[in-house]
Amino acid sequence: MDTEKLYYQDPYIQSFSAEILQSKKDDKGRFYAVLNKTAFYPAGGGQPHDTGTINDVHVYDVKEEKGEIRHYTETPVQERKVNGVINWVRRFGHMQQHAGQHLLSAAFEDMYGYRTTSFHLGSETCTIDLDTPELSEKEANQVEENVNSVILNNLPIQTRWVKANELSHFPLRKAVSKENNIRLVIIPDIDYNGCGGTHPHQTGEVGSVKILHWEKQKKQIRVHFVCGNRVLKQLETKHRVIRHLTSMLSAPQEDLENALARMLNQQRSLEKSNGTLKLELLSHETDKLIQQAKQKDDYKLVSKIYVNRPVKLLQQMAKNITQTSGNMLVLFVNETDAKLQIVGARSKDMDMRMKEFLSRILPGINGKGGGSETMVQGAGDRTISSDKLMEKMTSIIEEIK
Ligand SMILES: [Zn+2]
């Protein structure tokens, strides 16, 4: 069922009249219509499909499948005679990106020998993959400058249908594998390419090309770029961010980097002094705990219950206490929203078996933990109160000492 491809006769057709040849459902239950002619471009050759309406019903996808161009619509189109309208902003955007891609690929290859191995026209930005492991800032800048001057020169972009035996007359960038219906997109002296996409008639319509950034992709370089109206859109978005930053940092655009660097430096030095102050505070706190230690028969006990304290901090405190004073046993309980955590530590000059202590206390709270003979930690469920847990801990110590 052959559909006349209006988008090849004139890529600027935005609306058209046609007749429905078939109105069906595919095997996924999606409605589609096949027309006798269409200006809807089906996804192919790296260019995304058009969207629009057929008799005011939204066309959300267009695909060429089994030799027919299927227009997928949200509801079935019943009428035989239809009027199709293309979402022109989307389509013209694709034409700008696609032609810009041809120009970029041509410039990378002609100026530096970097061949394009694949490309992608995305909904926001586009990419080409270059067959090179490196790309310098200078190379990218020069390619961009070159392409923008080709755009400004407003050269013609032509399309030609040729036979396989005519291909040798053209300096093609890449061998064409098709035998029939070969379509060439030609920008004289710049680019000769087998391509089925829609392109504007002049390079000037691309507007401009902006390379955004690039990254390593396997052993190649992936270049992200935008063309035409998307350049303005990018400028708008980035400018909005910069405007906010200038007001947040109270610095003009050209001083933003310095202002941010100053702020980060300041933050680093604040973090450093904050760390020092925390340590001092911790040592005051541990000194106080040591002074308040309870004298037992043959050791001194520091025991305390905390709420939502980082266990790392409690371990550090227990270490400080047991390393600075002898004959000292530390028992901490920490209560969080979901768990009970414990820390137990003793001075080196004692011989209390802390691992045994841990193995006896943990089952009562379905806990898990570990440590050494001088310091242990664990955590379990809140099956009992922290006071009760501390009571149990002290009585186990009495039993095992
Ligand atoms: Zn193409």
Kindly give the distance from the C-alpha atom of residue 98 to the centroid of ligand 1, in angstroms, as a whole number: 6
- The confidence score (pLDDT) of residue 298 equals 87
Kindly give the distance from the C-alpha atom of residue 97 to the centroid of ligand 1, in angstroms, as a whole number: 10
Kindly give the distance from the C-alpha atom of residue 94 to the centroid of ligand 1, in angstroms, as a whole number: 11
Residue 167 phi, psi (nearest 5) = -60, -30
Burial class (CB in 10 A: 0-12, 13-18, 19+), 380: buried
Q: Which fold has domain 4-86?
A: Elongation Factor Tu (Ef-tu); domain 3 (2.40.30)
State how far the Cα of 114 lies from the Cα of 220, in Å rounded to an integer: 10
CATH architecture of 293-400: Roll (3.10)
* CB-CB contact of 122 with 221 (8 Å): no
CA distance from start to end of the chain: 93
Kindly give the distance from the C-alpha atom of residue 101 to the centroid of ligand 1, in angstroms, as a whole number: 8
Kindly give the distance from the C-alpha atom of residue 17 to the centroid of ligand 1, in angstroms, as a whole number: 27
- The confidence score (pLDDT) of residue 179 equals 82
Question: Looking at the DSSP assignment, which residues form a beta bridge with residue 133?
Answer: none
State how far the Cα of 96 lies from the Cα of 113, in Å rounded to an integer: 24
Tell me the three state secondary structure of residue 294: strand
- One DSSP character per residue, 365-400 reads GT-EEEE-SSEEEEEEE-SS-HHHHHHHHHHHHHHH
State how far the Cα of 308 lies from the Cα of 300, in Å rounded to an integer: 26
Copy the structure tokens of residue 186.
């030609």
- One DSSP character per residue, 27-44 reads TTS-EEEEESEE-PPPSB
* CB-CB contact of 54 with 100 (8 Å): no
Mean pLDDT for the stretch of residues 336-349 = 94
Kindly give the distance from the C-alpha atom of residue 84 to the centroid of ligand 1, in angstroms, as a whole number: 25
Kindly give the distance from the C-alpha atom of residue 234 to the centroid of ligand 1, in angstroms, as a whole number: 23
State how far the Cα of 287 lies from the Cα of 277, in Å rounded to an integer: 15
Average confidence score pLDDT of the chain: 94
How confident is residue 115, by pLDDT bands cut at 50, 70 and 90?
very high
Kindly give the distance from the C-alpha atom of residue 96 to the centroid of ligand 1, in angstroms, as a whole number: 11
Report pLDDT digits (tens) over 146-158: 999 999 999 999 9
* CB-CB contact of 366 with 357 (8 Å): no
Report pLDDT digits (tens) over 78-114: 899 999 999 999 999 999 999 999 999 999 999 999 9
State how far the Cα of 131 lies from the Cα of 246, in Å rounded to an integer: 39
State how far the Cα of 259 lies from the Cα of 241, in Å rounded to an integer: 15
| Residue carrying the six token digits 């680093």 | 268
- The confidence score (pLDDT) of residue 1 equals 61
Q: What letter does residue 18 receive in the DSSP assignment?
A: E
Kindly give the distance from the C-alpha atom of residue 179 to the centroid of ligand 1, in angstroms, as a whole number: 18
Strand 158-162: give its sheet, edge to edge: 158-162, 182-187, 191-194
pLDDT at position 401 over 80:
no
- One DSSP character per residue, 317-333 reads HHHHHHHHSSSEEEEEE
Q: Is the sign of the CA dihedral 312, 315, 321, 322 positive or negative?
A: negative
Kindly give the distance from the C-alpha atom of residue 169 to the centroid of ligand 1, in angstroms, as a whole number: 19
| Residue carrying the six token digits 């973090």 | 271
Of the candidates 159, 154, 155, the one whose C-alpha atom is nearest the C-alpha of residue 9 is: 159
State how far the Cα of 222 lies from the Cα of 139, in Å rounded to an integer: 14
Report pLDDT digits (tens) over 164-209: 988 988 999 888 888 888 999 999 999 999 999 999 999 999 999 9
Kindly give the distance from the C-alpha atom of residue 95 to the centroid of ligand 1, in angstroms, as a whole number: 10
Copy the structure tokens of residue 314.
């409690």
Kindly give the distance from the C-alpha atom of residue 99 to the centroid of ligand 1, in angstroms, as a whole number: 7
Kindly give the distance from the C-alpha atom of residue 128 to the centroid of ligand 1, in angstroms, as a whole number: 12
Report pLDDT digits (tens) over 1-48: 689 999 999 999 999 999 999 999 988 999 999 999 999 999 988 899
Kindly give the distance from the C-alpha atom of residue 28 to the centroid of ligand 1, in angstroms, as a whole number: 30
Report pLDDT digits (tens) over 262-291: 999 999 999 999 999 988 998 899 999 999
Kindly give the distance from the C-alpha atom of residue 197 to the centroid of ligand 1, in angstroms, as a whole number: 5
Share of the chain above pLDDT 90, in %: 89
Share of the chain above pLDDT 70, in %: 100
Of the candidates 236, 184, 228, 169, the one whose C-alpha atom is nearest the C-alpha of residue 204 is: 228
Kindly give the distance from the C-alpha atom of residue 44 to the centroid of ligand 1, in angstroms, as a whole number: 10
Q: Which fold has domain 92-236?
A: Threonyl-tRNA Synthetase; Chain A, domain 2 (3.30.980)
Kindly give the distance from the C-alpha atom of residue 45 to the centroid of ligand 1, in angstroms, as a whole number: 7
